[in-house]
Amino acid sequence: MIARFFINHPIFAWVISLIIMLAGALSIKNLGIEQYPDIAPPTIEISATYSGASPKAIENSITQVIEQELRGLDGLLYFSSTSGSGSSTINVVFEKGIDPDIAQVQVNNKVQQILPRLPEDVRKEGVSVVKAQSDYLMIFSIHDESGESSENDISDYMISNLKDGLARVDGVGGVELFGAEYAMRIWLDPKKLKSYNLMPSDINREIMIQNTQASGGSIGARPQINNQELNADVVSRTKLENKREFEDIVIKSNLNGANVLLSDVAKVELGSQDYSFILKVNGYQASGVGIKLSSGANAVETAKKVKEYISSFENNLPNGYIISYPYDTTIFIEASIKEVVKTLFEAIVLVVIVMFVFLNSWRATIIPAVAVPVVLLGTFAILNFLGFTINSLTMFAMVLSIGLLVDDAIVVVENVERNMREKNLLAKEATIIAMSEITSALIGVATVLSVVFLPMIFFSGSTGIIYKQFAVTIISSMVLSVVVAITLSPAICATFLKPHNPNTKDSGPIVWFNKKFDNLTRKYKMSIFNFVNKPLKWMTAYVAIVAITILLFLKLPTGFVPSEDQGDLMLQFTLPIGASATRSENVEKTIRDYFLTEEKNNVNSTFTIVGFTFAGNGQNGGLGFIGLKNWSERSGAENKADEIAQRAMIAFTDNNSKYFIRDAEVYVMNPSSIPGLGNSEGFEFRLQAGAKMSRKELLEAKNSLLEKVKSSQIIVGARVEGTEETHQLKLNYDKKKIYSLGLSYEDIDNTLSSAWAGNYVNDFIDKSRVKRVYIQADAQYRAKPEDLYQWNVRNKENKMVSFEEFTNISWEPTEKSLTRYNGLASYLFQGQANYGVSSGVAMDEMERLAKANNPDTNYSWSGLSYQEKLSGGQAIYLYSLSLIVIFLCLAALYESWSIPFSVLLAVPLGIIGAVISVYFRDLNNDVYFQVALLTTIGLVAKNAILIIEFVENAYKSGKPLIKSAIEGASLRFRPIIMTSLAFIAGIIPLAISSGAGANSRISIGTGIIGGTLTGTILAIFYVPLMFILIKKTFARK
């Protein structure tokens, strides 16, 4: 017997345990910290720019060309694309487990193959292929409280000094700038161009020629003449460096020797490379950078490195510049992990208290208490070896393990003390006898608890990653727990426990408790006698329990993971198409004023961007990040993020509110629960075109479905991202006139593109940094449709011809952006479940409405919704596999088919408690509930095994079946109640959590406590009855 060896060699047992603890202590320093492991599937983002092109032109010339080459990628899950004005973005999502670097190489190879088919201007700008997530790890900003700097000044400082370095920080997957650095802007005047017989292409050509770095070679380069004494480089022309040098560019020289300079036909200024965004931090002019996490990178470590890099610049900032982090997901990550660690220690204290109450001895209590640090530190060592991290999932599993891991040691101590008391033995002798009685049961329990979670390891996808974190942690704890229970615990029992002295009389609370519990045990023994003698009555009740369990389980609303108060809110607002930036700024000010005034006790900061939304860029919209105060400063349910968001939505939509926003749609929402699976809470529903369905027909289906969704009482905040219908100016060329006037389409397109879209020419040098040169029409010559007629094209006869002579204009309907999903035209619907409604119910409602709206359309889910659908489908397989594996393990361990049936029939007795507790607490059937259910199954099975082990031994000794069942159950009554209460005590801190990440802890804790209560109370009656009935049934066969 293994235990006997360690009973005789206690120092050996201590050495093994100390080595385990030392390995764990060293491992903790190496374990990374994050909210979740890398759950999001690898995403590769392809982006291309085609200045001035319409969404339709982008879709036809770039997006579809690239999409057609994406077929055949290894591990491809799905891809989606957005074609907007001047840009194309394609997100290629791979299965979890695919190496992000390999995925990037695959996609990049595909893109390189089709580059020759893309427009020249696109190739010139370049096609980007990067590893990135769709959401931000953090946003870093600089604002000027002195009011002396413009937005361009701040942006240029940030780009020149910080942006490139940020992109090189390890773990950063992408750096998205909200702002732009300086650029040399050439603002063309069409009237002056015409007077000098010039076109924009002439300006473009001369800038290219005169703003260049020419190689002059060198004097005396080898091979050289004999006695060559001089060697020096020759410099001829260099890139221009300032406004004056550009103004002096010679565009044309007349026959009389007079020169036409660039300043004669254009206004030259050092302006911004991009005028798309207006940023404010608490109302101050600002610039910001959105930092995305690279696939597979550790969030906390990456954020730490980013802040270290930025902090190195703080002492050298210009006067009035302030660095801030208006959005930082790692604050919530670290806070939630601290809360779980706090819960872990609370669980340990509560478990120790329960053990002391039942064991009545501090000596006996110390023994299972010693097991806690050994097992926990050993588990950290295993996690480090397997490459895991300290995250919410592994820490939840640690908390669950507290109650489970002390069970084995409690069983050892309780059985040793019983033998010492009943047989009047010394500690060592009692320990040897006790271990011979329970070693097989300990191994059986550990095996069952481990195999309950074992199937979770083999599930794929993002849900499989969550399952695996729990499974590996709990299995590691269980294995270490049984190792300690058969090595260290018996060694300590044999040397540390004192023999029972019959002459010693206990007094006080201990006597009172023991008398009460002994009385309870006697009543239990009488009750079990009556119970097992009325099998028909109680088996009928059992069938009712199973039926109620199934009905309530089916009624549970579904979800993926609970929505959390992450200490931030996000908002997005959209005005009608065509609304100017000025109108958007007015909306932004109203929103900012509301949060900084009405919610000043809950809000730290506002960071807003006019001109940028997740659906694309445009003057008629904006995005905001609202930084909330610490959770400790926002006590009370009314100050949680969801409640703050709901109040804001009411304020912006209520006609009687002073903050009512009449002409804009505003959405305030929580960030996504899981990084990388969407930008915010809510669903992502893709309405797709059916076979032979046109974009116009799909548009009609989209509009009608959106009306239905907005009228639903289950869904709120419904919107279709970036698909606002608008009108675009259509230029209708007269082909015959074009040729009769001696014009070329190339000159016409170049003139229009340069004047109205703007054209990147080449680069210049500003403060030792390379920056861009752009030519474009001055604002007053591209303000109205009729301004087109002020522009001219030179014909073959060297005469200037106005656009008016060969063009007429009209308006035609279009969309702001065009989206596709898996190569098909689609629309992205987003929204949230109404207050008190689960995400699963909202998703079911979307599917129902879509099917009723137009049966010819198809639909798919993406982001977090895709994973939620996947997890729901996997749950039934998970439960089934766990039960099958438990049955097979027990059959093998006990060489019996009857014992496994006795154990498994007890499982519904725990499930009903888990379901009822979650149902009446208005929680969801999500991933955490699934873990809670499996934990309940394991705990109920453990208690059943402990009872059946003793019942079986009594029955094999020759006692009658019913008497064996009653005696065995009565014998295990006290340890089962003790271990179950200890386990519940360890879970209570989870179920009553508050603060960062509380909803997840409540979800898992509530289900386990409910399941443990009913699983213990009902199983101590039903397991003996099941054993009797099954034994009789198998005996007849």
- The helix (H) or strand (E) run that includes residue 905 is none
Specify the 3-state DSSP secondary structure of 272. Answer: strand
Q: What pTM was computed for the model?
A: 0.74
Is 936 within 8 Å of 977 (Cβ atoms)? Answer: no
Given a cut of 90, whether residue 958 has pLDDT beyond it is no
The yes-or-no answer to whether 360-499 and 567-669 have a common fold is no
**Token pair listed for 860:** 């798919």
Beta strands at 138-144 and 284-293: parallel, antiparallel or unpaired: antiparallel
Is 359 within 8 Å of 365 (Cβ atoms)? Answer: yes
Question: Long-range contacts of range 214-218, CB-CB < 8 Å, 24 or more positions apart?
Answer: 214/238
What average pLDDT does the chain have? 84
> Where do we find the tokens 């893109």?
111
Burial of 74: CB neighbours in 10 Å, binned 0-12, 13-18, 19+: exposed
- The helix (H) or strand (E) run that includes residue 571 is strand 568-574
Query: From the centroid of its chain, how far is CA 984?
Result: 30
Q: How confident is the model over 454-469, as pLDDT tens digits?
A: 777 777 667 777 778 8
Predicted local distance difference test score (pLDDT) of residue 676: 62
Give the integer Cα–Cα distance in Å for 546 and 574: 51
For 38-131, give the CATH class: alpha beta
Give the integer Cα–Cα distance in Å for 500 and 496: 13
Q: How confident is the model over 969-1023, as pLDDT tens digits?
A: 787 787 788 778 878 887 888 888 777 878 888 888 898 899 989 988 888 888 8
Is 991 within 8 Å of 1005 (Cβ atoms)? Answer: yes
Give the integer Cα–Cα distance in Å for 154 and 181: 9
DSSP assigned state of 29:
T
Residue 774's identity, in one-letter code, is: Y
Give the integer Cα–Cα distance in Å for 984 and 978: 10
**Token pair listed for 705:** 């479905």
Q: How confident is the model over 702-743, as pLDDT tens digits?
A: 888 988 888 888 888 788 875 566 778 889 999 999 999 999
Given a cut of 80, whether residue 826 has pLDDT beyond it is yes
Q: How confident is the model over 233-292, as pLDDT tens digits?
A: 888 878 888 999 999 999 998 777 789 999 999 999 998 888 878 888 998 888 888 888
Between 269 and 403, residue with greater pLDDT: 269
**Token pair listed for 149:** 């700097």
Q: CB under 8 Å to 28, separation ≥6 — which residues?
A: 377, 380, 384, 390
Is 111 within 8 Å of 99 (Cβ atoms)? Answer: no
Predicted local distance difference test score (pLDDT) of residue 594: 92
Given a cut of 70, whether residue 134 has pLDDT beyond it is no
**Token pair listed for 7:** 């009973």
Give the integer Cα–Cα distance in Å for 351 and 403: 7
Between 2 and 109, residue with greater pLDDT: 109
Predicted local distance difference test score (pLDDT) of residue 558: 77
- The helix (H) or strand (E) run that includes residue 158 is helix 151-158
Band of residue 163 on the pLDDT scale cut at 50, 70, 90: confident
> Does the structural domain 360-499 have CATH classification 3.40.50.1370?
no
Direct distance between the N- and C-terminal alpha carbons of the chain, in angstroms, rounded to an integer: 36
Given a cut of 90, whether residue 861 has pLDDT beyond it is no
- The helix (H) or strand (E) run that includes residue 87 is strand 87-94
Band of residue 208 on the pLDDT scale cut at 50, 70, 90: very high
The greatest distance separating any two alpha carbons of the chain, rounded to the nearest whole angstrom, comes to: 130
Give the integer Cα–Cα distance in Å for 279 and 1027: 71
Number of residues that make up the chain: 1037
Give the integer Cα–Cα distance in Å for 433 and 436: 5
Predicted local distance difference test score (pLDDT) of residue 460: 67
**Token pair listed for 360:** 């009545």
* Integer angstrom CA distances of residue 387 from 98, 298, 305, 498: 17, 12, 21, 44
Q: How confident is the model over 556-573, as pLDDT tens digits?
A: 877 777 888 888 898 888
Give the integer Cα–Cα distance in Å for 576 and 598: 27
> Which of 771, 764, 774, 782 has the alpha carbon at shortest distance from 203?
774
Dihedral angle computed from the Cα positions of residues 479, 474, 894 and 528, in that order, rounded to the nearest 10 degrees: 120
Specify the 3-state DSSP secondary structure of 885. Answer: helix
Predicted local distance difference test score (pLDDT) of residue 346: 79
Q: CB under 8 Å to 437, separation ≥6 — which residues?
A: 415, 953
Domain topology for 508-555+896-1037: Multidrug efflux transporter AcrB transmembrane fold (1.20.1640)
Q: Is the dihedral of CA 717, 642, 931, 28 positive or negative?
A: positive
862: alpha, beta or left, given left = phi > 0 and alpha = psi -120 to 50?
Answer: beta
Beta strands in 629-690 (DSSP E): 665-669, 683-688
Band of residue 1035 on the pLDDT scale cut at 50, 70, 90: low
Given a cut of 90, whether residue 30 has pLDDT beyond it is no
Beta strands in 654-740 (DSSP E): 665-669, 683-688, 715-720, 725-733
**Token pair listed for 1034:** 């198998």
Given a cut of 90, whether residue 62 has pLDDT beyond it is yes
Out of 49-58, 188-197, 223-232, the most confident range is: 188-197
Predicted local distance difference test score (pLDDT) of residue 504: 58
Query: Span 148-155, mean pLDDT?
Result: 84
> Which of 35, 31, 8, 26 has the alpha carbon at shortest distance from 672?
35
Q: CB under 8 Å to 138, separation ≥6 — which residues?
A: 291, 303, 306, 325, 327, 328, 329, 330
Domain topology for 567-669: Alpha-Beta Plaits (3.30.70)
Q: How confident is the model over 750-805, as pLDDT tens digits?
A: 999 899 888 889 999 988 888 899 999 999 999 899 999 999 999 999 999 999 99
The domain ranges of the chain are 38-131, 360-499, 508-555+896-1037, 567-669
Crossing angle between the packed helical segments 927-956 and 392-423, to the nearest 10 degrees? 20
Query: From the centroid of its chain, how far is CA 316?
Result: 35
Q: How confident is the model over 73-117, as pLDDT tens digits?
A: 888 888 888 888 788 999 898 887 788 889 999 999 999 999 989
Give the residue ranges of DSSP H helices in 796-862.
Answer: 839-853
DSSP assigned state of 918:
H
Out of 240-254, 815-829, 836-850, the most confident range is: 240-254
Burial of 322: CB neighbours in 10 Å, binned 0-12, 13-18, 19+: middle
Give the integer Cα–Cα distance in Å for 770 and 24: 52
Given a cut of 90, whether residue 895 has pLDDT beyond it is no
Query: Span 925-939, mean pLDDT?
Result: 83
Number of H helices, E strands in the chain: 33, 30
Predicted local distance difference test score (pLDDT) of residue 733: 93
Query: Span 522-536, mean pLDDT?
Result: 82
**Token pair listed for 634:** 């926002």
Give the integer Cα–Cα distance in Å for 616 and 54: 13
Out of 6-10, 936-940, 1008-1012, the most confident range is: 1008-1012
Given a cut of 70, whether residue 432 has pLDDT beyond it is yes
Predicted local distance difference test score (pLDDT) of residue 357: 76
